[in-house]
Amino acid sequence: MEISVELVKDLRQRTGAGVIDCKTALQEAKGDMETAIDYLRRKGLATAAKKAGRIATEGLVSSYIHAGGKMGVLVEINCETDFVAKAEDFKTFVKNIAMHIAAANPQYIRREEIPEEVLEREGAIYRTQALDAGKSQKIIDKIIEGKMERFYSEVCLIEQTYIKDSDLTIKELLDAMIAKVGENISIRRFARFQLGEGLSSRSSPPCASSMK
């Protein structure tokens, strides 16, 4: 079927995919935008998987300051080449991730980083809640599994819903960027600072602070 230029442009703006890929996706989807987006996501995931093992040593450290200087974020995102690191698309991506971290306050990048004691504590809380609610032992494990998945989606950056597009997770946004630039991209680390966080009226100000 004939795909209009406007439709291709709209899909490209929503996904960041190339013109040819967008046109192909729309043709495969018979002009349906949501189906075309799903098609590109699947393609992006496949492309990202092939590049995931490649070493990414270039990239950027970017900052984002919000709320009149009361909150700030530092994030390091790596790519494979200096060429991509200097590209505006990559710079925008890094800045958007920093903004997302400021708004969504993730605690970890991915679930594999969560300490075992934290997982055990969460699981114990959910088990107690299920028992107190009178749930049968037979379904308690499924209830815990479902609540743990929700926990991961709340505290792990890579699994959070992107604040600028509720149809995307950060993982899907990352995979789309990998597909677009043709390089492996890795969110390596971040730090989020909230003015006064962790302080009480009796706290003494530290002499110095450092971040590794």
Residues 94-141 pLDDT 10s: 999 999 999 999 999 999 999 999 999 999 999 999 988 888 888 998
Per-residue pLDDT at 145 exceeds 50: yes
- Sheet strands (E) in the chain: 58-66, 71-79, 186-194
pLDDT digits (tens, 9 = 90+) for 48-91: 666 666 767 799 999 999 878 889 999 999 999 999 999 999 99
CATH label, 58-104+178-194, candidates 2.30.30.830, 3.30.1960.10, 3.30.70.100, 3.30.479.20: 3.30.479.20
Rounded CA separation 2/36 (Å):
15
Token pair recorded at residue 209: 């602070």
**Where do the domains of the chain lie?**
5-51, 58-104+178-194, 115-154
Token pair recorded at residue 137: 């032992």
Rounded CA separation 169/175 (Å):
10
pLDDT score at 138: 81
Contact at 8 Å (CB) between 177 and 185? Answer: yes
Per-residue pLDDT at 210 exceeds 50: no
Q: Residue 204 corresponds to which amino acid?
A: S
Rounded CA separation 94/49 (Å):
20
CATH label, 115-154, candidates 1.10.286, 3.30.160, 1.10.1760, 3.40.50: 1.10.286
Helix axes 116-132, 137-155, angle to 10 degrees: 130
pLDDT score at 56: 74
CATH hierarchy code of domain 5-51: 1.10.8.10
Q: Residue 36 corresponds to which amino acid?
A: A
Contact at 8 Å (CB) between 8 and 26? Answer: yes
Residue 76 CB partners (closer than 8 Å, separation 6+): 59, 60, 61, 187, 188, 189, 190
